[in-house]
Amino acid sequence: MNSATREQGGETVAAEVFDERICSLGEGPLWHPMRKTLYWVDLLNNKVLAKGPDGTQAWDMGEMPSAIGWVDRDRALVACESGLHLMDLNSGEKSLLCELEPDMPGNRSNDGRADPWGGFWIGTMGVNGEPDQGNLYRWYKGELRRLDSGMTVPNGICFDRERCYGYYADSAKNTVYRVLLNTADGWPMGEPEAFLDLSTQELIPDGAVMDGQGNMWSSLWDSARTQCFDPSGREIAALEAPVIRTTCPAFGGEDFTDMYVTTAAVGLEDRPGAEVANGVTLVYRNAVQGQPEPAVIV
C-alpha cells in the first residue's frame, strides 16, 4: 500500500491494487453505473479489460483502443485507432460508428470522454508521438467535428459540473487548456485558453477527471501521483501512487467516492520484489466525492 493525502493537511488514503493484470499502457478507466463494473484499456496490447461483480474479463479489439464511454447497460462506445466503435459488453462484438482520420494512417486515437450533452470528445496523435500531428474532435449526434489541431499528445479531457467549460491537455506541451462551451448543446465557443502551465515544474498531465466539488484530478505521467487542482488552478491535494507511471483517474463505487487509477509498465524495468508492479490498476477507497460519467447518445 501507499499513503496519500486526501487534501492539504487532511487524512491519508491508502492506494490498493484493484487489478493485478499488467498493462503496458493502461488508460481510459470508466465506471459503468448500471453494471457496477470498471472498464479500461491496455492500449498497446489491443485489449479492453473489465472487473466487476461478474469477475474479470478481457477482449482483444484487434487494434489499439484508447477510451471508453457507456451507452446503456449492454453497450459502450470504444475509441480505437480506426474510429469510434459500438461494443456489445456481453459478446465483445463491435461495429463502426465513425471513422477517425482515415487519410492519416500514421495516427491513432488517444484520450477521450463523454460530455454532459451525450457527445464524445476524442483526441488523436501520431503513433510514435510525432510533434503537432494530433487533433481534438467531438462526436455528437452522428457528426464528427474537429475542435483543435496541431497537438502532440491530446489528453486529460473532462468537463466542469456547471457545464460551462471543457478541459483538455497536450501532455507534450505540459499544458492544460480550457474552452467555453455553449450550455445548450456543448459545442465550444471561442478559442481555448491555457488553464495550467506545468512546464516550469516539468510535470506531464495525462488523463483527468472532475470531482463532485468542481476540482480537477490529473494523473501525472512519471510523477507517481494524481494531483488535484481547484477551479482557479491551485494545487490543493494529491493521491500518491506506489508506481511511477500513473495515467488516468476515474470515479466509481456505489457512491462514487472511490478513485480508480490506471498505470503503465511500458519502458520500465521489472522490479523484482516490489510490493506493487508497474502497470497494475489502483483504487483509493473513500478518497473524495466524485460524480458519475454521462452516457453517450448514439
**Whether the Cβ atoms of residue 283 and residue 18 lie closer than 8 Å to each other:** yes
C-alpha cell at 29: 478507466
Q: Which residue has the cell 473513500?
A: 286
From residue 259, alpha-carbon distances to 56, 95, 157, 243, 288 in Å are 18, 30, 17, 16, 8
Catalytic residues: 206
- How far apart are alpha carbons 28 and 67 in whole angstroms? 5
DSSP string, 22-87: --SBEEEEEEETTTTEEEEEEGGGTEEEEEETTEEEEEE-SS-EEEEEEEETTEEEEEESSEEEEE
Q: Do the beta carbons of residue 281 and residue 28 sit within 8 Å?
A: no
- Largest Cα–Cα distance of the chain, in whole Å? 54
286 marked as part of a ligand binding site: no
Q: Amino acid identity of 155?
A: N
Placement of cell 477521450 in the chain? 112
206 annotated binding-site participant: yes
How far apart CA 133 and CA 141 sit, in angstroms, is 26
Which amino acid, 146?
R
Residue 180 near residue 189, CB atoms below 8 Å: yes
Is 107 annotated as contributing to ligand binding? no
How many other CB atoms are there within 10 angstroms of residue 6's CB atom?
17
Give the residue ranges of the annotated binding site: 27, 108, 110, 155, 206
Give the residue ranges of the annotated binding site for a divalent metal cation: 27, 155, 206
